[in-house]
Structure 1
Amino acid sequence: MTYHPQQIVARGPRAVAEAAASAIDDDAFLEGATYSILEEDEDKNIWRIDAFPTTEEESERLQEVLADYADLKLTTEQLADADWLAMALSGLPPVRAGRFFVYGAHDRGKRPLSAVNLRIEAGAAFGTGHHGTTVGCLMAYNDLLKKHRFERVLDVGAGTGVLAIAAAKTGTKFAVGTDIDPISVRISNENTKLNQAKARFVWANGLNHKDVRQDAPYDLVFANILARPLVGLSHSIRGALKPGGVVILSGLLRTQERFVKGAYLSHGFKVVRRIHRDAWCTLVMQKV
């Protein structure tokens, strides 16, 4: 049976929407599900979850999880048989995060001369620069660059490669990214060529790949994934960093901040900064 793409939308109060998003993150069957959460109406305290299942089974499970939250209003909409992802991306405006300007091919004429311009074509990978987690990482990195340069950078869960490419465009000599999705690795390497950046991406689960080990220890690690994998990788990330090295953690909701922060504090990190954007949190922590 052919699956017809659909969009699932859930609207409700912030606390309920964040709890539902956490439930999606914690569901093993939905580990690879694509969704976003954002504030739709500040005055009315309405937050919105948009989910884009890729199979009938994933759609059913998403609706089951969201239906557990009575205060969420749930709707589904069939999407036309078209490249809806590309169509959606073509309507997204470019993003400015400090010195970084992230844009797609449709906005190449808007590139400011004063910015570090990053052309990112997403395809089926995560990380156009519009999501609160990606913007948070770029903002955190932009501020770190005011005082430091990072010779060796690792990007765990690279998606489109935007973070490792940003590092390579700002003086990093060795920038490597990993992803468990081979499509993301292909897209990241394509984006590297588009940006004429010296970064490379490998298909890997965790930090044990030889191309990751050979450049260790790192000055900086990006990890923009999900809360539970962030916690699970805390020991490996510490091992990959040099003393005094920095990790930028994101992909976690504000409600998950204490959970993730606690894992890294217990492994000998200290908090340098945190950034909240929409429902998302970005943590900057240093190995001590």
Structure 2
Amino acid sequence: GAKKVIGVDLDQVSVRVSNENIKINQVEDIMEIRKGNLLEVINSKANIIVSNIIAEIIAKMTMDISRFLEDGGIFITSGIIIEKIYMVEEALIENGFKILEVKKMNSWACIIASKN
């Protein structure tokens, strides 16, 4: 399992509910949730980054995501409508990622990529 997990969300309700779930699941010793923008509240690199935001934002943030991800790290992103998969894939490849897998369900997609 993970040694440390940091969650970041702009929405205060999401932060509050996540903190409640952390307590319910008794993982306070390894997990914390921070309110804010990833670029402003994190100052270290991760070996896995997971996001669930729209394709346009993911595409704009791929360079920043790369800065926060260790070499060989994994980026998992969802919340992508099928028609916009190409946009995210292109942005990831341009920023040094290798697409490992694309999963589709109904009209949504998830992309799993590694940082080269």
Q: Which TM class, normalised by the smaller chain length?
A: over 0.9
**1:231 maps to 2:63:** no
Shift of 1:208: 2.1
TM-score, normalised relative to structure 1? 0.39
Q: Deviations over 1:65-117 (max 9, x none)?
A: xxxxxxxxxxxxxxxxxxxxxxxxxxxxxxxxxxxxxxxxxxxxxxxxxxxxx
Give the Cα separation in 2 of the matches to 1:195 and 1:206: 24
Match of 1:205 in 2: 37
**1:248 maps to 2:76:** yes
Give the Cα separation in 2 of the matches to 1:278 and 1:268: 29
Q: Deviations over 1:131-171 (max 9, x none)?
A: xxxxxxxxxxxxxxxxxxxxxxxxxxxxxxxxxxxxxxxx1
Shift of 1:207: 2.3
**1:262 maps to 2:90:** yes
Match of 1:189 in 2: 19
Shift of 1:206: 3.1
Match of 2:4 in 1: 174
TM-score, normalised relative to structure 2? 0.94
Matches within 5 A, 1:1-288: 171-197=1-27, 198-209=30-41, 212-213=42-43, 216-288=44-116
Give the Cα separation in 2 of the matches to 1:190 and 1:285: 30
The 3-state SS of whatever aligns with 1:208 is helix
Q: How many equivalent pairs are there?
A: 114
Q: Which residue identity lines up with residue 175 of structure 1 in the other structure?
A: V
Shift of 1:255: 0.5
Q: Which residue identity lines up with residue 11 of structure 2 in the other structure?
A: D
Contact kept in structure 2, 1:248 and 1:285, CA below 8 Å? yes
Q: Which residue identity lines up with residue 243 of structure 1 in the other structure?
A: D
Higher RCO (C-alpha under 8 Å, 6+ residues apart): 2
Give the Cα separation in 1 of the matches to 2:48 and 2:112: 10
Structure 2 unmatched ranges of 5 or more: none
Give the Cα separation in 2 of the matches to 1:200 and 1:177: 6
Q: Which residue identity lines up with residue 196 of structure 1 in the other structure?
A: Q
Shift of 1:234: 0.7
The 3-state SS of whatever aligns with 2:98 is strand
Give the Cα separation in 1 of the matches to 2:50 and 2:109: 14
